[in-house]
Amino acid sequence: MLLLLALPGENRPAPRPAATACGMAPWKTIRDINLQNRNSQLQSARRKMAHGWHAMRKQLDGWRPGRIPIAYKLAILITLLITAGMIMLGVLVARNQTQLLHAQIDEFGNTLSQQLAESSKELVLSDDLLGLMVLISNLGSSENVLGATIYSESGRVLASSGMLPPSDVLVRHNDRVAAGKPLEPVEWTAWNETGDQQIVVSFVRPIQFQDLVAGYALVSFSKATLGQALRDTIHAVAAATVLMIIIGIAVAFFMGRRLSQPIHDLMDARNALDTGDLNFRLRERREDEIGFLIDAFNGMADTLVEKHQVESVFSRFVSPNVARQVLANLEHVKLGGEHVEATALFADIVGFTSLSEKLPPNEVAELLNDYFTHISMASRYYHGTVDKYMGDCAMLIFGAPDHDPQHRLNAVCCAVMIQRMVDRLNTERQRQGKTAVHFRIGINSGLMLAGNMGSHDRMQYTVVGDAVNLAARLHTVAKEGQIITSELLYTADDVYQYVIGRKHGSINLRGKAEPVTTYEVRDVAPDLRQQMEQYLAELLASRSVA
């Protein structure tokens, strides 16, 4: 149960049942409001965590299927082109080498068999078998020759060394000659000393004396031995092809990363702008299309900096809330407004005219800037907005442009905080030998018109109406250090049980048919006072740091 303290001589309206629109106890409602700041801090932390997670997910998106980085796309494309080209080149080279080696093998076998036929011509005609054996033995001792044989014209073996071919080899040769086909080596199968099967290639040439065929000379070679050179050549070509493909892959990935690096730099720059680093610039200078993109990005970043500076300066001329709404709806900014339930607060310096006459202009400006800065900071703690500064007077709005269901109580709390802040600043000023400054404050709430007022070429966001005029009149009847409110505001359900004050009196105001009953606010409830002291400590601490 709330215990209301009263100073001597203070008046307070009769207590009324505490209830709110939601049917909750008002103390519970105000505690919920007090916890709102903590909740907003938690929400801000969650938003920062969500932003960090979003940035990390954007980095991971580059590795998802279907989101292959462009460097790897370029590398894969270049690798495929190099691989296809090297395979085609390798196949072509291997084919040409195979044809060349076959031609050389055929030429070698034909030449050796032709030389044997020429060397044995006289020996065959003279029927010198011993000479033929010597000739055959010398040829058969060659490393690459498996055997050599001299046949008679009828196909009888005259001399042989090494592996003797089957009888059908000579028959097959003669059949090709009789058919008019080109001469080719004859292949046949044999078994070596170890019992392994091997393919033998025999080259046959006739032993001719003028037009007379006296016999045949045959030289046999192992096809495996002859094909070894071919296999070695193919292996060398294949190894060179694989090596070139590996080198091509390495070069492709290097070129891919090299070509895509400016794009990655652009991505990093874009991420830097997303995180609020508007001073990030790309320093690389190029004379190609990428260079054009870099220049365009740097120009865009400069534009964003200028936009941010304009928004920052704009937020100094109008309240941040108004600036945010205007910048978010630039195409819909127009004259007009809407009726809102809000609270207006006027605060000005008592005796400012005489004070300004005693002080130099620069000290007057410094004094006003100092106090107005603290008033603006105090209004933010209670969701208020500085509407305008008029000489030594500051006009604050609560409940507009952003709706605030506790605008009355927030306005009263802000007024009390301003007076307490002024007291502490005066203590500091007096310690420095300066003149103390006192404020008077008037507050009123009610229905008022809020919106853009003025002309099409010059407008400002403000509130107007009878409730605003009354607040302005109330602050003129207040004395130094006083906070004067209307009866309607002071006795509101969400205000009267959280403030300490007294009836100020009834005053006659021009334009009002009936006297206006006013109340003076002296303090706020203990719980609100404790929170206010924390705000004051933060505000004055920031002043010390500055």
Stretch among 24-38, 202-216, 422-436 having the lowest mean pLDDT: 24-38
- Report field, pTM of the whole predicted structure over 0.75: no
pLDDT tens, position by position, 123-171 = 888 888 888 888 888 776 676 788 889 998 888 888 988 888 887 888 8
Quick one: pLDDT at residue 442?
A: 96
* pLDDT-based confidence at residue 416 (cuts at 50, 70, 90): very high
Quick one: pLDDT at residue 437?
A: 93
Identify whether the C-beta of residue 88 lies closer than 8 Å to the C-beta of residue 244.
no
Query: Is residue 499 classed as helix, strand or coil in its secondary structure?
Result: strand
d(C-alpha 409, C-alpha 147), whole Å: 121
Q: Which of 54-68, 109-123, 215-229 has the highest mean pLDDT?
A: 109-123
Quick one: pLDDT at residue 23?
A: 36
Tell me the average pLDDT across 440-469. Answer: 85
Closest CA to 410 of 34, 17, 6: 34
Tell me what the pLDDT averaged over the chain comes to: 79
Long-range contact pairs involving 353-358 (C-beta distance under 8 Å, separation at least 24): 355/435, 355/437, 358/435
d(C-alpha 518, C-alpha 473), whole Å: 11
Name the token pair of 159: 């001399």
* Amino acid (1-letter code) at residue 334: K
- Residues of 504-533 as b/e, b for ≥16 C-beta within 10 angstroms? beeeebeeeeeebebbbbbbbbeebeebbe
Closest CA to 127 of 109, 143, 146, 150: 150
* pLDDT-based confidence at residue 225 (cuts at 50, 70, 90): low
Strands 439-455 and 483-486: parallel
Quick one: pLDDT at residue 63?
A: 47
